[in-house]
């Protein structure tokens, strides 16, 4: 016996027929009648909603007729119409204002605004570039490296320098960026200062750190097999992957320690550096990375000292007030780091086992000064200049 046909079952049949019908053939209600009520109940609830809306409208008319018109003085600010403005237009209007307040130090020292010319370039972030560098300086303090952290460990500072010099060769062979090298050294120091490792695992840690930095910085990073190959198959791919998990867990996946390249770009922009100054400062930063005595120096201080040393060597002028204002370091603060960099360079030029940094030294000296290496080291790197 078939079940009796009721109103509910007929509605269910209509819904099922609509579900089977193609989407384009279904009838759709206008947007004004659309609601969150599903199915055929929407048509049944429509008269009730219209009646409720009519009653609400009549009540509102009655209240407006009996109530007094509010005065303009007591009108709420939220009730006043607000004109729609574009965020980009507002920012441009604020930048063009001549009465915008400036820092008192900038007015007294007559320091120019180096970011005013980049106001029209959205990629330069001229509105909050100072906040970015202030945050980077806070971050480098929070993720600082302890001074002489290798004391009591099996790995020494000379071993660290030799291994980093070998990583520079790997960087050249794989054509990696300079940011990858600095981030590799940052990961190595951050890991070794709290996790002592034996000598036989130092190369494994360094190779894994460069793998992580390549994934972070490079567009096409080398594979695990590539790093195993350059290590002369001293470790397997499984060893590198296990060390990668160990380093990430011990560092709590915090790989965002600032690198000196970010601060050098800022200093070169403020000091209006040329290609020779940039190349020499970049080389001095790589040289400072090898020095174990400078491992605790913040990246911003190392970059400022390298740039100041390049200006002093090439005779580009003293450390100006604008450079001191934007970098946050005076020439007296930079002097000890500059002297340490020069001492490291003297060790490289005289007798040193670091072959990669010596080859880079020859390349930089020939491209910048266009003289022989001996004249470059004796004339320009004298201690009287510092």
347 touches 340 (CB < 8 A):
no
Half-sphere exposure for 41 (CA within 13 Å, toward CB):
5
Domain limits at 363?
260-385
Q: Is the pLDDT of residue 2 over 60?
A: no
Residue where a domain terminates, one of 250, 285, 304: 250
168 touches 286 (CB < 8 A):
yes
**pLDDT confidence bin for 119, thresholds 50/70/90:** confident
Q: Which residues contact 209 (CB under 8 A, 6 or more apart)?
A: 184, 185, 187, 188, 191, 247
> Does the residue 14 lie in any domain?
no
Residue where a domain terminates, one of 191, 219, 250: 250
> Does the residue 224 lie in any domain?
yes
- Listed residue (321, 359, 358, 312) closest to 339, CA to CA: 312
Percent helix / strand / coil, the chain, rounded to 5: 65, 0, 35
Shared domain check, 335 and 372: yes
> Does the residue 77 lie in any domain?
no
Question: Percent of the chain, pLDDT > 70?
Answer: 67
Q: What CATH number is associated with residue 374? A: 1.10.472.10
Q: Is the pLDDT of residue 84 over 80?
A: no
Shared domain check, 214 and 305: no
pLDDT of 334? 95
Q: Which residues contact 91 (CB under 8 A, 6 or more apart)?
A: 127
Shared domain check, 373 and 298: yes
How far, rounded to the nearest angstrom, does the alpha carbon of residue 351 sit from its chain's CA centroid?
A: 38
Q: Is the pLDDT of residue 386 over 60?
A: no
pLDDT in tens, 235-290: 999 999 999 999 999 999 999 999 999 999 999 999 999 999 999 999 999 999 99
> Does the residue 172 lie in any domain?
yes
pLDDT in tens, 8-63: 555 555 555 555 545 444 444 444 444 444 444 444 444 556 666 776 677 776 66
Shared domain check, 280 and 338: yes
> Does the residue 119 lie in any domain?
no
Shared domain check, 316 and 240: no
Shared domain check, 277 and 229: no
Shared domain check, 308 and 335: yes
Provide the domain count of the chain. Answer: 2
Shared domain check, 381 and 326: yes
Looking at mean pLDDT, say which of 64-78, 80-94, 139-153, 353-367 comes out highest. 139-153
Shared domain check, 333 and 217: no
Distances (CA, A) of 65 to 60, 69, 73, 74, 256: 9, 9, 21, 19, 65
> Does the residue 347 lie in any domain?
yes
> Does the residue 230 lie in any domain?
yes
Shared domain check, 344 and 228: no
pLDDT of 154? 95
**pLDDT confidence bin for 120, thresholds 50/70/90:** confident
Residue where a domain terminates, one of 215, 250, 285: 250
The structure tokens 């100006």 sit at 320
Shared domain check, 335 and 373: yes
Shared domain check, 343 and 292: yes
> Does the residue 147 lie in any domain?
no
């Amino acid at each position: 016996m078939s079940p009796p046909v009721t109103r509910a079952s007929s509605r269910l049949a209509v819904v099922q027929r609509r579900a089977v019908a193609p989407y384009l053939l279904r009838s759709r209600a206008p947007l004004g009648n659309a609601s969150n009520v599903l199915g055929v109940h929407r048509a049944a609830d429509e008269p009730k909603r219209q009646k409720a809306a009519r009653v609400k409208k009549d009540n509102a008319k009655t209240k407006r007729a009996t109530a007094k018109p509010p005065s303009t003085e007591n009108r709420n600010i939220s009730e006043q119409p607000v004109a729609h403005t574009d965020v980009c237009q507002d920012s441009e209007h604020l930048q063009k204002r001549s009465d915008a307040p400036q820092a008192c130090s900038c007015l007294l020292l007559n320091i120019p605004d180096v970011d005013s010319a980049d106001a029209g370039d959205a990629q330069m972030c001229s509105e909050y570039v100072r906040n970015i560098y202030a945050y980077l300086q806070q971050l480098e303090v929070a993720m600082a490296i302890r001074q002489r952290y290798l004391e009591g460990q099996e790995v020494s500072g000379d071993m660290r320098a030799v291994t980093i010099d070998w990583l520079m060769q790997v960087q050249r062979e794989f054509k990696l960026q300079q940011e990858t090298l600095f981030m590799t050294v940052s990961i190595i120091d951050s890991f070794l200062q709290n996790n002592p490792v034996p000598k036989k695992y130092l190369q494994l840690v360094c190779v894994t750190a460069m793998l992580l930095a390549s994934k972070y910085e490079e567009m096409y990073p080398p594979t695990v097999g590539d790093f195993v190959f350059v290590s002369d198959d001293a470790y397997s791919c499984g060893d590198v992957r296990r060390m990668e998990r160990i380093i990430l867990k011990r560092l709590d996946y915090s790989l965002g320690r600032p690198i000196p390249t970010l601060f050098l770009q800022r200093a070169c922009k403020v000091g209006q550096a040329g290609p020779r100054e940039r190349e020499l400062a970049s080389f001095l930063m790589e040289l400072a990375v090898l020095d174990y005595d400078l491992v605790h120096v913040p990246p911003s201080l190392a970059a400022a000292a390298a740039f100041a040393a390049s200006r002093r060597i090439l005779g580009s002028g003293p450390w100006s007030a604008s450079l001191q204002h934007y970098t946050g370091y005076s020439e007296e603060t930079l002097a000890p780091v500059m002297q340490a960099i020069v001492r490291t360079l003297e060790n490289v030029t005289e007798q040193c086992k670091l072959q990669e940094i010596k080859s880079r030294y020859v390349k930089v000296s020939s491209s910048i000064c266009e003289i022989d290496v001996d004249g470059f080291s004796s004339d320009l790197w004298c201690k009287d200049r510092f």
